[in-house]
A and B are shown apart, each in its own frame.
Chain A
Amino acid sequence: MTNAERKIVSVLDAIKAHWDLHPKNGFSKNVGLGYRNLHGAGEATFSIQKLVHDSKVGFEELTPILYKLKEEGLIEKVEMLNEAM
């Protein structure tokens, strides 16, 4: 397992941990904006700072990893909500 792969897994784990807090078929009140439908699909808003903190990857490394995960089919859409990234 390469270092790059280790970082991807780390980001994935951080996203999953956050996503698991969202209740199915409802808005997540306590974990920020987000919605999951009955089947579990949906969208969630992440704080980049928290994602960087949880995954322990560099700030500048996060975007390429997210797009890599999109390529792999794990994420359907990545949207930046401001110009920070």
Chain B
Amino acid sequence: MALIRLTLPEDFDERCKKYREKLVPKEGMPEPYLVDSLENEKKNLLLIKDEVNYRHEMDKWLPLKTVVDAIYKDLIPFTEKNQSIQLDISKLGIPEKIASSVFMSLVYERLCRWHLGSPVVISTAPIAEYLKGKIVVPSYTKFKEFRQKVHDFYEFMESNKAQKFPKPERPALQLTSELHEEAKEMLQRNIPEIIKAKESFATTLESLKTPQVIPPQILQPDHGKSTSALKRWSDTDTPTFDEKSGGITLGEIKCMIPLSAVNQIVTCKAVFSKPIGEWTQEIDVIHDFYHGENSDRALKDATRAINQKTREILGVDLFQYEGRSRRVRIKGELFKTLNV
């Protein structure tokens, strides 16, 4: 057997390492860049003057926020290291390609990783699973800090947008005076429109004098504060909530709660999981709220927002919030009355 004898120096390992580094380019993971990108983007946003462009830029960052929030929602605060979670990307409302890019950037940020397979078998299965939502979060605290940064960034975008492109608002007083002026103008002009309007007004008065029988099932209940159109739900209907679509259905009417409104969705889920009229305590839902336990007044605000929507669509304030006990429920009496 042919042999060769090599005499090696005592610092062979070190020399070997240096020589190797000289020849082999570094093929490591890219350095974290997202936090810096967020800071740079803030500066860029300040320079944008067009509202459409601004909105476009905001939309670009939305998938990151959605993914980070979705991961954080599934994390348990009691386990610091290596939490494994499974996300359903189809429910995030983000194209799979974009979600995959976001997942990879979270890997580069050292916030997430895929589970390691066998060190012997080299396979792309773990990364494929990761990109489909099977995620390992190495550090809860680190992820929480990052999520806060993303959240701050998004808040900055929102507040900056509100400052840069304020919505034109007409105060109520101004609107009233404008209408008054318009009416005055019309009255001054003796034109056929006025005569027509007068005639139509007279007809309306006549019809009001005639008593009308309204079937009880389409009567507006007194509990609602709205004076909106007649309702299309009867006394036998009870409200239901669809978690997937965020829709509250009452009879034929569906009132949509946006899925992005986390607190409202969480509130609806909790309240509708109980029998109608039964109270849900704030402590039962607060952990799932956007700010978790730091969500002060969040249940109250969520209830108010839901009621505003149900008032517009269903014609009633569906939820009742009790500040003293910090609890919420569906107004049971609405349906009791109708069930009599």
Given the known interface contacts A47-B1, A48-B2, A84-B2, the answer about A42 and B7 at a Cβ–Cβ threshold of 8 Å is yes
Alpha-carbon separation in the docked complex, A40 to B14 (Å) = 11
Q: Does B8 reach chain A (CB closer than 8 Å)?
A: yes
Min CB–CB distance A51 → chain B (angstroms): 7
Q: Which of B17-25, B164-172, B216-224 contacts A (4 or more CB under 8 A)?
A: B17-25
> Which listed residue, A19, A33, A49, touches B8 by the CB 8 Å rule?
A19
Inter-chain contact B5/A45, CB cutoff 8 Å: yes
Q: Kindly supply a per-residue 1/0 record for chain B positions 192-215, scoring 1 wherever the CB is within 8 Å of any chain A CB and 0 otherwise.
A: 000000000000000000000000
Q: Does A60 reach chain B (CB closer than 8 Å)?
A: no
> Which listed residue, B4, B8, B16, B20, touches A85 by the CB 8 Å rule?
B4
Alpha-carbon separation in the docked complex, A17 to B107 (Å) = 32
Given the known interface contacts A49-B1, A73-B15, the answer about A12 and B20 at a Cβ–Cβ threshold of 8 Å is yes
* Chain A residues, Cβ within 8 Å of B9: 41, 73-74, 76
Chain A minimum-CB-distance residue to B2: A84
Q: Kindly supply a per-residue 1/0 record for chain B positions 65-90, scoring 1 wherever the CB is within 8 Å of any chain A CB and 0 otherwise.
A: 00000000000000000000000000
Q: Does B3 reach chain A (CB closer than 8 Å)?
A: yes
Given the known interface contacts A9-B20, A12-B19, A47-B1, the answer about A1 and B25 at a Cβ–Cβ threshold of 8 Å is yes
Given the known interface contacts A1-B24, A12-B19, A12-B20, the answer about A78 and B4 at a Cβ–Cβ threshold of 8 Å is yes
User: Which positions 314-333 of chain B face chain A at CB distance < 8 Å?
Assistant: none
Chain A minimum-CB-distance residue to B6: A75
Given the known interface contacts A5-B23, A8-B23, A12-B19, the answer about A40 and B4 at a Cβ–Cβ threshold of 8 Å is no
User: Which positions 40-68 of chain A face chain B at CB distance < 8 Å?
Assistant: 40-49, 51, 66
Main secondary structure of the interface of A (DSSP, over half): mixed
Alpha-carbon separation in the docked complex, A70 to B8 (Å) = 10
Most buried by B among A9, A37, A74: A74
Chain A minimum-CB-distance residue to B5: A79
Inter-chain contact A72/B19, CB cutoff 8 Å: yes
Alpha-carbon separation in the docked complex, A37 to B19 (Å) = 23
Chain A interface residue count, CB cutoff 8 Å, equals 37
Alpha-carbon separation in the docked complex, A75 to B9 (Å) = 7
* Chain B residues, Cβ within 8 Å of A37: 10
Min CB–CB distance A30 → chain B (angstroms): 16
* Chain A residues, Cβ within 8 Å of B11: 40
Alpha-carbon separation in the docked complex, A52 to B9 (Å) = 22
> Which listed residue, A9, A15, A41, touches B23 by the CB 8 Å rule?
A9
Given the known interface contacts A16-B13, A40-B12, A41-B8, the answer about A81 and B19 at a Cβ–Cβ threshold of 8 Å is no
Interface of B toward A, CB cutoff 8 Å = 1-13, 15-16, 19-20, 23-25
Other A-B contacts than A16-B12, A46-B6, A75-B6, 16 sampled, CB-CB below 8 A, are A9-B20, A9-B23, A39-B10, A40-B12, A43-B6, A43-B8, A45-B5, A51-B4, A74-B19, A76-B7, A78-B4, A79-B5, A80-B5, A82-B2, A84-B3, A85-B4
